[in-house]
A and B are shown apart, each in its own frame.
Chain A
Amino acid sequence: MPNQHQSPSAVLTPEALAARVAPQDSPVRAADDVARYALGLGDDALVLAQRLGSWIAAAPELEEDVALGNIALDTLGHARSLLTYAGSAWDQTEDDLAYFRDEPDFRCRQIFERPNGDFACTIARQLVVSAYFTALYRALTGSADPTLAAIAAKAVKEVDYHLDHATLWTLRLALGTEESRRRTVAGFDAVWPFVDELFADDPAADAVPAAAVAPAGLREPFDALLLPVLDRVELPVPAVAAVRGGGRLGVHSEALGPLLAEMQVLARRHPGAVW
């Protein structure tokens, strides 16, 4: 965990200086252990948003450029709230955490960093992660930590749309043509090895049981949301072995490095730049 007092992305605008000297009414500062939990959730959302954003102008139709862009924006919003809150514990901004950490510092589960593949593969990943986020944020609205509960209450309404969108596309693609079905099956096969990791132990969650949601408890609501969709289109649950995972401990697949390189290059080349 980085612990610098000098924030590399700090911008010395008059507003920023004023904000530093003017105390907030009641500064919300995350406790260190809650922040570590929020960091994992924030990284999941940040990395997925970056992946989805690269569909803009590359989706099969204009409406999907807009839809995936909007879904990416919502997801980035969740990341910003979570990372801002996490950073409050360590005097770091959301930008410090997003742009100035290296790969082993990231705590995202590996499914979120998976390459987009083709559109069907992205939809398969999106159906899985939307079902997961729906289960997660619904449970997190009951967090003993008021900030996490508030972020979740906001997110729950948004991921509802995302799940709907992914469900509709899964139906269209799986029941479409022979080719679209073949690609949908291939998409679920590609993403499925990373599903188990979503429910694997998270030491950061264990450390704050009242504030966090225990990952193992999310499997049942996740299955209840996802499996009926697969049933409807007669897609079997892929019989593929699970990967080892370890994203919450900073262990990542080869896909994360290039994503971070692209995401971070501008901020690192021009520290403090604003537009």
Chain B
Amino acid sequence: MAAVEHEQVARPRPGTKPERAVWDAAAQVTDPEVPVLTVEDLGVLRAVRLVDGTPVVDITPTYSGCPAVDAIRDDIVAVLEERGWSGARVNVVLSPAWTTDWMSDAGRRKLVEHGIAPPARRAGGVVALGMGVRCPRCGSLHTRELSRFGSTSCKALYVCQRCREPFDHFKEH
């Protein structure tokens, strides 16, 4: 898939001006569990439309049990309220299922700065097992998975064999 086309799937920002304004406002809401990432960076923000002047926003959960979804929903309603749109509705849509391939490059960079190893890109390919995850602190590829499950649904726990520090890895999904 071409990069531009892929970006359009990951971040379907609407074409009309008033809807773009709603999108841009909702896009600023961050994930409460990974506060450096916005819902736009994550690819969690799926669609925005105005129905009789009321914003309707579609979001998709990263994982089925992700508790951040409820907080994100409230935050989107609140941020739109601040900008003068009252009574916004937020729908949770499950299809198409979220994938880490929708995470933006900016989001990946912010994760590294935050000490979290970003997910590898998978678009169109297969993830090889045991591929190196780079330590976000020292950059070493000499790292090891401690546990497939970490501090949140979307992360695994790793340890760096060089600087000896544990770190979170945002799992490819």
Whether the pair A22, B87 counts as a contact (CB closer than 8 A) is yes
Chief secondary structure at chain A's binding surface: helix
Which residues of chain A are near B91, meaning CB under 8 Å? Answer: 24-25
Of the candidates A66, A146, A155, the one whose C-beta lies within 8 Å of that of B147 is A66
- With contacts A22-B87, A76-B65, A155-B64 taken as known, whether A81 is within 8 angstroms of B146 at the C-beta atoms is no
| B25 touches A (CB below 8 Å) | no
Q: Is A149 an interface residue (CB 8 A)?
A: yes
Taking a contact as CB atoms under 8 Å apart, the answer to whether A73 and B94 are in contact is no
Task: Please measure, in the bound complex, the distance between the C-alpha atom of A70 and the C-alpha atom of B91, giving whole angstroms.
Answer: 24
Q: Would A22 and B89 count as touching, CB distance under 8 A?
A: yes
Query: Could you say which residues of chain A place their CB within 8 Å of the CB of B173?
Result: 157
B89 cross-chain contacts in A, Cβ below 8 A: 19, 22, 24
Query: Do the beta carbons of A70 and B153 come within 8 Å of each other?
Result: yes
B87 touches A63 (CB 8 A): no
Q: Do most interface residues of chain B lie in helix, strand or loop, or is the interface mixed? A: loop
| B97 CB within 8 Å of chain A | yes
Which residues of the partner chain A approach B63 to less than 8 Å between Cβ atoms?
73-74, 77, 158
Please tell me if the beta carbons of B95 and A74 are within 8 angstroms of each other in the complex. Answer: no
Assess the B146–A154 pair: CB atoms within 8 A: no
On chain A, the residues within 8 Å of B94 by CB distance are 81, 147, 150-151, 153-154
Q: Which residue of A lies closest to B152 (CB)?
A: A70
> Is there an interface contact between B97 and A153, defined as CB atoms closer than 8 Å?
yes
Asked if A80 meets B51 with Cβ closer than 8 Å, knowing A22-B89, A157-B173, the reply is no
B64 partner residues in chain A, CB cutoff 8 A:
74, 77-78, 80-81, 151, 154-155, 158
The answer to whether A153 and B87 have CB atoms under 8 Å apart is no
> Which residues of chain A are near B93, meaning CB under 8 Å?
150
Q: How close is A141's CB to chain B, nearest CB, in angstroms?
A: 10
Residues of A contacting B66 in the complex (Cβ-Cβ under 8 angstroms): 77
- Say whether A80 contacts B150, CB under 8 Å: no
Contact A154 B97 (CB under 8 A): yes
Is B142 close to A, CB under 8 A?
no
Evaluate contact between B65 and A66: CB separation under 8 angstroms.
no
Q: Does A92 contact B (CB under 8 A)?
A: no
Asked if A51 is at the interface (CB within 8 A of a chain B CB), the reply is no
Partner of A150, one of B77, B87, B95: B95
Question: Counting CB contacts under 8 A, is B148 at the interface?
Answer: yes
**B135 within 8 A of partner (CB):** no
Q: Which of A67, A147, A165 has the most CB of B within 10 A?
A: A67
Q: How far is the CA of A4 from the CA of B127 in the complex (A)?
A: 49
Q: A24-B91, A80-B65 are in contact. Are A165 and B97 (CB under 8 A)?
A: no
Q: Given the complex of chains A and B, what is the CA–CA distance between A30 and B51 in angstroms?
A: 24
1/0 per residue, CB under 8 A from B, across A68-93: the answer is: 01110111111011000000000000
> Nearest chain A CB to B152's CB is how many angstroms away?
8
* B112 in contact (CB, < 8 A): no
Determine whether the beta carbon of A74 is less than 8 Å from that of B153.
Answer: yes
A-B contact pairs, 21 of them (CB 8 A): A22-B87, A22-B89, A25-B91, A63-B147, A63-B157, A66-B147, A66-B149, A66-B157, A67-B148, A77-B64, A80-B64, A81-B94, A147-B94, A149-B95, A151-B94, A153-B96, A154-B64, A157-B173, A161-B149, A164-B148, A165-B148
Residues of B within 8 A of A (CB): 51, 54, 56, 61, 63-67, 77, 87, 89, 91, 93-98, 146-151, 153, 157, 173
With A66-B149, A66-B151, A77-B61 already in contact, 8 other A-B pairs whose C-beta atoms are closer than 8 Å: A63-B146, A66-B147, A66-B150, A70-B150, A70-B153, A77-B66, A154-B94, A158-B64
List chain A positions with a Cβ less than 8 A from chain B.
15, 18-19, 22, 24-25, 63, 66-67, 69-71, 73-78, 80-81, 146-147, 149-151, 153-155, 157-158, 161, 164-165
